[in-house]
Structure 1
Amino acid sequence: MTPGIISGLHTFGSRVNFNPHVHMLVTMGGLTKKGEWKQYDYLPFEMLRKQWQTVVLKFIRRGVSEKEKKRIQPRLQQAFHNNGKGFYVHAPKQEGNVKEQLRYIGRYIRRPAIGLNRIEAYDGQKVTFTYHDKTGGKEKRETISVEEFISRLIRHIPDEQFKTIRHYGMYSRRCKGLSKKVLCQWQQKAKRWIVKAKKTMRRQTWRERIVSSGKRDPLICEKCQCYYEYKGEVCLENGRLEIKVALCTTTRAYLERVIHHFTSIETPKKGKKKKKKWPNQNRASTLFV
């Protein structure tokens, strides 16, 4: 049986300290080899903790050299014996409003190391912020220098192209088609049209992401409320304007005239050409009509 798993990596704790851990959303069920959905209501937490401990220690051994492995082997054995019940796994069964839980988890799994609402004071030298102390269950404050605060933050910036959220099992790309089919069959059988399967399984466009964040529609004109239609764009490359996209011959002809207009601007003094000033030098100029 193949479940659906969405995992998110967090490298920070409540004090913006280095505390790497993984949050996971796991379906209470999965797909059988025949492509049928099978549901379950029980997770053996004790077995899950021991399995998690075994996998973590095994990956640590696999990722180091033989010399390094001999050096850290006593510490790995100590970590195994000191945690007889396995490494910590918090896996509560969620109940209540599903949509509200998904909205909360979606914000939580992509949250930054610290929110602006937690920063209480900054005087140019010190930063004061609040955090939740899990050992005592109380809200506390901590004041540190600006340099220390910045050093705590930048350690949590992921490398370029590093994915902090990953999908496994029936949520992976190779199983997306089958998952969509099973979801449609379940909706027809249960007569519960919570969401459209087609909309659920595809990625949002840049326009949909902007609108869903609460901002105005970028393709609606603020003055006339008319709808913009994407036709093409021009980019600045090696000091020259180049047409990157032109969806029709009319668009290409218009963009060529625009490029010619900007490149033919001259100053009347001494017959010298006016220094070229491209609009939005570091961005692509996009044509909407």
Structure 2
Amino acid sequence: MAEDVLQVNHRHVILTIDEGLRDIFLWHRELLKPLMDEAAKLMTDYFQKKAKVTPGIIVGLHTFGSKVNFNPHIHMMVTMGGITKKGEWKGYDFIPFQMLRKQWQTVVLKLIRKHLTKQEKKRIQPRLQKAFSANGEGFYVYAPKQRGKIKEQLRYIARYIRRPAIGTNRIEAYDGQTVTFKYVDKTDGKEKHETVTVEEFIIRLIRHIPDEQFKTIRHYGMYSRRSKKLSKKLLATWQQGTKRWILKVKKTLRRQTWRERIISSGQKDPMICPHCDNYYDYMGEVCLEEGKLEIKIAFTKEARSYMERVICHLEGTGQEKQKEEKRNRPSASKEDVCQLSLFNVS
């Protein structure tokens, strides 16, 4: 995510809902997607009204609290500025918390009333009334200014948006009957421990498994799939004339490859053989079809010849021959292992 956004200042915006409304989204999980849409629309409308720009927004849905309870809330990565109708970049770094809190409260309550039946609305009306009266300043909205280098900010926000319900480092004990885990209590900021039964722990955990085909990360504004390429082209043209480098024209923003991700995490290059320190070279591929190994790709005659020999070696010519070859075959050397590793046999 950090590699796929503009290298500009972003805000990490958090939008929450009243505690009494959480169960409504648990009973009606179809409201989670509109909740994300409304959060993005709230920020987009604000930027378009105040700064006349369309920002880039990445929304992440968290359905969990620190105690792995069901607590749906929104995390957003929002550009501090956006693109104008003329294709120019315009910075804007002011977010009015008090105004957004009341607006977010109104949006959530309207969303619930709009999507539920009359009978359901009548049943939960006390919850809606309490959520309105008990939050005179609106629902909680938090958007701290980020400090440090832009790339470090983006990596931090992106990691936070993608975090799971609970990490294994928080699970401290398991005896077959109960699970003990630690958490930070948001009310006093202290670390605490809780012990629950295995059944209760599983119930808390599986609530956060997204429904089939549901996307917990969504893109809006400049980062939406429809306008992303166009926005980059417009900004690239604009910055050529102004010499203000919002994005690098020569560098295409892209996701890291599997190999790059492993290296950046501090591990060894997976394309280097651990035995001889030579680089692996993809020369072909062998796949299993109807119980037989078949060559699918061979870039050279030598590669095809080698794969044919490997297939013949693996399949053999019968049990007797395999036994005889096993008795007479010398132990494989490191060089043989390296050669076999050059090809993907699946």
Classify the TM-score, shorter chain.
0.7 to 0.9
Q: Does 1:33 align with 2:79?
A: no
Alignment of 1:20 onto 2:69: no
* CA drift at 1:95: 2.9
SS in 1 for 2:227: helix
- Equivalent residue number for residue 190 of structure 2: 138
- Residue in structure 1 matched with residue 102 of structure 2 by the alignment: 50
Q: Which moved more, 1:102-111 or 1:243-252?
A: 243-252
Quick one: which of 122, 126, 138 aligns to 1:86? Answer: 138
Change over 3 Å in CA distance of 1:10–1:198 after alignment to 2? farther
**What code does the residue aligned with 1:228 have?**
Y
CA–CA distance in structure 2, aligned partners of residues 66 and 78 of structure 1: 18
State the AA in 2 paired with 1:111: R
Task: Tell me the residue number matched to 2:343.
Answer: 287
Q: Which has the higher helix share?
A: 2
| Paired position in structure 1 for 2:284 | 232
Structure 2 counterpart of 1:280: none
Query: What CA distance in whole angstroms lies between the structure 2 residues aligned with 1:51 and 1:183?
Result: 35
TM-aligned CA deviation for residue 187 of structure 1: 8.8
RMSD: 3.3
- Alpha carbons 2:281, 2:342 under 8 Å: kept: no
Task: Tell me how far 1:135 sits from its aligned partner.
Answer: 1.0
Aligned match of 1:152: 204
CA 1:176–1:265: 2 relative to 1, 3 Å: farther
- Does the 8 Å contact 2:88/2:238 carry over to 1? no
> Does the 8 Å CA contact 1:126/1:144 hold for their aligned counterparts?
yes
> Aligned-pair distance for 1:81?
4.0
Structure showing greater relative contact order (alpha-carbon pairs closer than 8 Å, 6 or more residues apart): 2
CA distance in 2, matches of 1:143, 1:187: 59
Structure 1 residues 99 and 229: CA distance shift in structure 2, 3 A: same
Distance 1:236 1:209, change over 3 A: same
Distance between the aligned counterparts of 1:58 and 1:224, measured in 2? 65
Cα distance in 1, alignment partners of residues 138 and 71 from structure 2: 18
- Determine if contact 2:60/2:76 at 8 Å carries over to the other structure: yes
C-alpha deviations, 1:15-55, integer Å up to 9, x for none?
Answer: 11111111111111011111111111211222322332233
Structure 2: how far apart are the matches of 1:207 and 1:47? 46
- 1:268 corresponds, among 306, 310, 320, to 320
C-alpha distance in structure 2 between counterparts of 1:249 and 1:71, whole Å: 74
Which residue number corresponds to residue 208 of structure 1? 260
Residues 1:146 and 1:78: Cα distance change in structure 2 (over 3 Å):
closer
Instruction: String of CA shifts for 1:183-230, please: whole Å, max 9, x gaps.
Output: 68659856779x855656212222112222222111122233222222
- Give the aligned partner of residue 123 of structure 1: 175
One-letter amino acid matched to 1:212: S
SS of residue in 2 equivalent to 1:233: strand
Equivalent in the alignment of 1:272: none
Normalising by structure 2, report the TM-score. 0.66
**Superposition deviation, residue 113 in structure 1:** 1.9
Q: Secondary structure at the match of 2:284?
A: strand
- Match for 1:174: what amino acid? R
Asked if 1 retains the 8 angstrom alpha-carbon contact of 2:102 and 2:138, the reply is yes
Instruction: Give deviations 1:38-84, integer Å, cap 9, x for gaps.
Output: 11121122232233223323333444345434543554344334433
Task: Report the Cα distance in structure 2 between the residues aligned to 1:18 and 1:250, rounded to whole angstroms.
Answer: 59
Gaps of 5+ in 1: 270-284
Trace 1:215-226 onto structure 2 (pairs within 5 A).
215-226=267-278
Distance in 1, Cα, partners of 2:264 & 2:289: 33
Shift of 1:88: 1.7
- The 8 Å contact of residues 234 and 286 in structure 1, kept in 2 or not, is answered as no
1:190–1:227 CA distance, 2 compared to 1 (3 A): same
Q: What is the alpha-carbon distance in structure 2 between the residues aligned to residue 109 and residue 186 of structure 1?
A: 30
Distance 2:105 2:284 in 1: 53
Cα gap change, 1:238 to 1:40, in 2 (>3 Å): same
CA distance in 2, matches of 1:255, 1:59: 61
With the length of structure 1 as denominator, give the TM-score of the two structures.
0.77
